[in-house]
Amino acid sequence: MNSKTAIPNVMERTIGGGVHGPGERKMRIRVVGVGGAGLNAVDHLAANPPGGVSFMAVNTDTQSLGASMIAEKLQIGKQLTRGLGAGGDPDLGRRAALEDEQELRDALEGCDVVFLAAGLGGGTGTGAGPVVAKVAREEGALVLAFVTLPFSHEGEYRGRVANDGLAEMKQSADAVVCIPNDKLLVLASEETSVLDAFKPADEYLGQSVRRIWGMLSQGGLINIDFADLRSVLRRQSGETLIGFGEADGPDRIQQVVDRTLKGPLLSGDDLLGRATSMLVAVTHGPDFTMKQLQKLLEEIRQRMGPKVACKQGIVVSGDFVDRLSLMVIASTGTPLLDKSPESAAPADAPAQPEKSAPAPRKATDEKPVATRSGGRVGGREKAEAKVKGAETSPAKQGLFDLDSSASGIFAKGEHTVVNGQDLDVPTFIRRGLVIRSL
Amino acid sequence: MFSRFFSKRPALIVGLDIGTSLVKLAVGERRPDGCLTLLGAHHVESRGLRRGEVMDHNQASSCVFQAIRETEELLNMEIGKVEVALTGGHIESANHRGTVPIRSATGQISPDDVEDAVEAARGGVSISEGRVVFHVIRQQYYVDGKDGVANPVGLVGRRLEADTHMVHGVGTRLQNTLQCLHSQDGSLVDVGSHVFSGLASSLAVLGRHEKEMGVILLDIGAGTTEYVAYSKGMIRQMGVLPVAGDHLLNDILLGLKIQSRRLGEALIHEHGCVWPEPSGNPEIKGKTVSVKTSELLPDRERVIPLEYIHAILYHRMDETLRIVRERLHAQGSLNMVASGVVLTGGVSRLPGIVELTQSVFGMPAVVGIPQGFDGIMERAAQPEMATVLGLLKYAALRGAGEKRESNGFWDQFKKIV
Ligand SMILES: Nc1ncnc2c1ncn2[C@@H]1O[C@H](COP(=O)(O)OP(=O)(O)OP(=O)(O)O)[C@@H](O)[C@H]1O
Ligand SMILES: [Mg+2]
């Protein structure tokens, strides 16, 4: 019954192998390394790149840029630093980035998602990183920054610099995943070389990019799309955690949750309890039952705070018989709604979120929205509206997607409420079943 | 659109059911022996309706007129008057008894006494502002407290009581449905009677014996679920829950992230099932279906475990049936039912619905097929045709002198609305 050949594999990519955005257009994902540490991390990923992702190296230091294997390089602050680096001065790093703002803008134009890697504590990563993030956001991208904090033995000054940089990064990027280098020490043995010590962090960035890209590109039973990711990540001064794990065998539910939420880089963090939104992506086999899925989600929920709004994606794959793969992305902070260039348009300001129904979407429905960087595929506009609907709802329903009450056939008009239940919200959601909505 | 045809064939009746998914028309002829011959039936897809009510007059009206014109062409006739079904979540009903003393010196009951008793029942109804009573169904009479009197005229007594079943709803909302017969371009078709959809469906599929034994009719369409409970041959309770097939569709679209209504409908029709306890069903365990989810990417198919489809539909249907059951139970109607549940409306085609209904109600359930027509084409002997065919029966009964309502509801509408 559960033989691998009998069950079609839904992990197959869509035609062309691309990741598709809200308007079903090919999605552009770019990984940008800023500063020396950022470059190293991105180099690591570029050595074994996931298809459909482009890379870019940004630094003040000519030498470090030359050593990078990434083809697209942007040297910033040529006049200011003369290619010698920012010398640990974040202000210099920041001004270097501003000097070449237009180049950055051109390089990031049209990106849907930008993963930004930077080490905090030095000059370029700390100072230029937030500028790059800000420019990418202004160009319309969803910006997810991966930053490291210096080892405590690097001294108090670096620590302070890094913390200021982190605060600034939280303002500029949509989401910030923060890895204190001290956590890497825990993983390292006596023999681990300094370079190898960073491997887990580089690996973590690589896995995160790969898995997020994979999640967006797969047509699952319940898809996670760009708008979902965006609604979970787009926060005001929030922190983000990304955990993933796999497990097999009869005890796989418990194990996969432990592996995902107790990874060495995540441990000792109370972020889960403070999370305001999360995204859960599950890949399971056709042998996995609805009850098991509920149990899995319940396990996750138990480790989260009460206020979390959840989006779920489910992929059923014949390759996952007796096996389970999980990714959890959780963010703290308050939802950030209206800062993207599109939605800041005046017409959008006081209006109610337009609740988009999953009615037939014709290509002509997608009106292009003009931004100052030129035309943009308008699916974005709808996605934003949907996100608003989701995020402004009170987090009453716990694990389940709040979005669904705001969409569907009965989105508009008077709702039918019987015994305190809004019957226009799908029953399976109100009864606590797993499947989430569009 | 005034009809020469009708003046020649006064026994022709046209039923019009402006359903949320389909506008259905049926044309019948009352024969001298009282039987009904079905001459034809037609339907077109409806637009501008939600939950059984008109949301967009122009859209709904144009569908109605399209259905009327096409029927006229098909049957080579002109339609000047239609019997119209009414529904909506605002519709409520209740039993009311009216009592009057017999005025005549002999104590013999006159037709006026009967009207007075009914009027007294009607006067006892207190409904909120804006609501109108659109059915006063006479159920039975009591003469000096003795029940079971079908026709009291001519009997002698001192006191006459009339049991009536009143159906009322918000006038403007009912009016919106009737207004579909006035098109933008000035065309106008007369409304004969207007009948609660659930009542019409019950007339089409329920037999006398079932009504005596006690029976529940559920008409589950696209926008609404109408319920009607009979016992001892009389209506006990009627009502509408504005949850039905469109909610099944809604849940599927949202739960499975399907981008188009059309594809969602197709999925439900092809793979839908509401068999009780889907998660424990070994027959579907591990089974998947490949479905299209987006009209934009017709080549893109997604593999979905059947279990999910069944579970989403099952939970919605289970909840809907439970709410109806609860409402019937609250009024004591459930205990009075010995026969079972009869299902009509398009959703009664959904596999597993009979079993699920049986398990929720704890009594036998069947799909109701309209009956009692001559010349009925196979196409019309379908559960979703119950309402429109019931309209023919209703009008035939009224026309045959079994007119049980006072006249002029239509005028009353006009006055109130
Ligand atoms: N084979 C089938 N399986 C499942 N559902 C079906 C099937 N055939 C029809 N339906 C559903 O039945 C509904 C239509 O039923 P029907 O024609 O009785 O409704 P309607 O009269 O238009 O609406 P309403 O009475 O609610 O205003 C639709 O939701 C349709 O999807
Ligand atoms: Mg109907």
Pairwise CA distance, residues B390 & B345, whole Å: 12
pLDDT at B119 over 60: yes
Question: What are the structure tokens assigned to A420, written together?
Answer: 């305190």
Average pLDDT for B122-130: 85
- Helix locations, B127-275, DSSP H: 171-178, 197-205, 208-213, 245-255, 261-271
pLDDT reported for residue B404:
37
Look at residues A436, A424, A321, A8 and name the one whose alpha carbon lies nearest to residue B308.
A436
pLDDT reported for residue A407:
61
List of chain A residues whose C-beta atoms are within 8 Å of the C-beta of residue B278: 290
- The amino acid occupying position B112 is D
Average pLDDT for B232-255: 95
Least confident range from A258-272, B221-235, B308-322: namely A258-272
What is the C-alpha end-to-end distance of chain A, expressed in Å?
A: 31
List of chain B residues whose C-beta atoms are within 8 Å of the C-beta of residue A1: 285-286
pLDDT at B249 over 50: yes
pLDDT reported for residue A432:
72
Task: Answer whether A438 sits within 8 Å of B241, measured CB to CB.
Answer: no
pLDDT at A13 over 50: no
Pairwise CA distance, residues B226 & B237, whole Å: 11
**List of residues 6+ apart from B166 with CB closer than 8 A:** B93, B94, B95, B96, B121, B122, B125, B133, B135, B136, B137
More confident residue, B213 or A261: B213
Atom number in ligand 1 closest to CA B344: 18
pLDDT reported for residue A70:
87
What is the C-alpha end-to-end distance of chain B, expressed in Å?
A: 26
Q: Which helix (H) or strand (E) holds B73?
A: helix B57-75
pLDDT reported for residue B158:
93
Place of tokens 């230029």: A128
pLDDT of B19-71, one tens digit each?
999 999 999 998 877 788 999 999 999 999 999 999 999 999 999 999 999 99
pLDDT reported for residue A74:
93
Name the band, by pLDDT with cuts 50, 70 and 90, for residue A221: low
Least confident range from A14-18, B134-138, B331-335: namely A14-18
Place of tokens 């990031």: A108
Mutate which of B51, B274, B316, B347 to test ligand 1's pocket (most atoms within 8 Å of Cβ)?
B347
Task: Answer whether B250 sits within 8 Å of A410, measured CB to CB.
Answer: yes
Contact indicator for A245, A304 with CB cutoff of 8 Å: no
Q: For residue B383, how far is its CA from the centre of ligand 1 (angstroms)?
A: 10
Task: Report yes or no for ipTM above 0.90.
Answer: no
Place of tokens 């180049």: A103
Question: What are the structure tokens assigned to B30, written together?
Answer: 């009352």
More confident residue, A15 or A105: A105
More confident residue, B304 or B361: B361
List of chain B residues whose C-beta atoms are within 8 Å of the C-beta of residue A418: 241, 323
**List of residues 6+ apart from B98 with CB closer than 8 A:** B116, B117, B118, B119, B120, B121, B122, B123, B124, B161, B162, B164
Question: What are the structure tokens assigned to A79, written together?
Answer: 């006049």
pLDDT at B275 over 50: yes
Q: For residue A206, how far is its CA from the centre of ligand 1 (angstroms)?
A: 50
Task: Answer whether B249 sits within 8 Å of A409, measured CB to CB.
Answer: yes
Please, what is the average pLDDT of chain A? 73
Kindly give the pairing relationship between strand A175-180 and strand A73-75: unpaired
Question: What are the structure tokens assigned to A151, written together?
Answer: 């080892």
Pairwise CA distance, residues A241 & A265, whole Å: 10
Distance from CA of B262 to the nearest CA of A (A): 8
More confident residue, A27 or B394: B394
Pairwise CA distance, residues B214 & B229, whole Å: 7
Look at residues B211, B132, B212, B231 and name the one whose alpha carbon lies nearest to residue B175.
B132
pLDDT of A223-280, one tens digit each?
777 778 888 888 767 788 888 899 999 999 999 998 888 877 775 567 787 888 888 9
Residues in chain A: 438
Name the band, by pLDDT with cuts 50, 70 and 90, for residue A294: confident
Contact indicator for A100, A6 with CB cutoff of 8 Å: no
Q: For residue A152, how far is its CA from the centre of ligand 1 (angstroms)?
A: 67
Look at residues B57, B49, B61, B17 and name the one whose alpha carbon lies nearest to residue B345.
B17
pLDDT reported for residue A374:
33
pLDDT reported for residue A411:
75
Task: List all residues whose CB is within 6 A of at least one atom of ligand 1.
Answer: B 19-22, 52, 87, 221-224, 244-246, 265, 268-269, 272, 345-347, 349-350, 384
pLDDT reported for residue A267:
53
Full DSSP string of A2-31: --TTTS--TTPBPGGG--B-TTSPBP-EEE
Q: Which of B247, B297, B312 sits opposite A435 (nearest CB)?
A: B312
pLDDT reported for residue B287:
86
Residue B43, strand partner residues: B24
Q: Which ligand is nearest to the CA of B267?
A: 1
pLDDT at A338 over 50: no
Average pLDDT for A409-426: 83
Please, what is the average pLDDT of chain B? 88
Contact indicator for A68, A43 with CB cutoff of 8 Å: yes
Phi, psi angles (nearest 5°) of residue A129:
-50, -55
Name the band, by pLDDT with cuts 50, 70 and 90, for residue A335: low
Question: What are the structure tokens assigned to A223, written together?
Answer: 């898809």
List of chain A residues whose C-beta atoms are within 8 Å of the C-beta of residue B241: 416, 418
Residues B241, B245, B246, B251, CA torsion sign:
positive
More confident residue, A214 or B383: B383
pLDDT reported for residue A77:
87
Name the band, by pLDDT with cuts 50, 70 and 90, for residue A308: confident
Pairwise CA distance, residues B50 & B249, whole Å: 13
Residues in chain B: 417
Contact indicator for A344, A338 with CB cutoff of 8 Å: yes
pLDDT reported for residue A362:
36
Task: Answer whether A24 sits within 8 Å of B286, measured CB to CB.
Answer: no
More confident residue, B170 or A342: B170
Least confident range from A428-432, B280-284, B397-401: namely B397-401
Name the band, by pLDDT with cuts 50, 70 and 90, for residue B273: very high
Q: What is the pTM of this model?
A: 0.58
pLDDT of A361-371, one tens digit each?
333 333 333 33
Task: Answer whether A416 sits within 8 Å of B89, measured CB to CB.
Answer: yes
- Helix locations, A68-173, DSSP H: 78-81, 90-99, 101-108, 124-138, 156-172
pLDDT at A391 over 70: no
Name the band, by pLDDT with cuts 50, 70 and 90, for residue A348: very low
Query: How many CA atoms are closer than 13 Å to the CA of A133, on its beta-carbon side?
Result: 30
Q: Which ligand is nearest to the CA of B52?
A: 1
DSSP state of A377: -
Task: Answer whether B312 sits within 8 Å of A290, measured CB to CB.
Answer: no
pLDDT of A51-97, one tens digit each?
778 999 999 988 888 888 888 999 998 888 787 877 788 999 999 99
Question: What are the structure tokens assigned to B253, written together?
Answer: 């679209």
pLDDT reported for residue A220:
62
Question: What are the structure tokens assigned to B155, written together?
Answer: 């009997």
Q: In a 3-state reduction of DSSP, which class is residue B208?
A: helix
Q: Which of A204-208, B106-110, B255-259 has the highest mean pLDDT?
A: B106-110
pLDDT reported for residue A88:
81
Look at residues A175, A176, A174 and name the one whose alpha carbon lies nearest to residue A163.
A176
Residue A149, strand partner residues: A180
DSSP state of B150: S
Pairwise CA distance, residues A304 & B300, whole Å: 35
Residues A156, A161, A162, A166, CA torsion sign:
positive
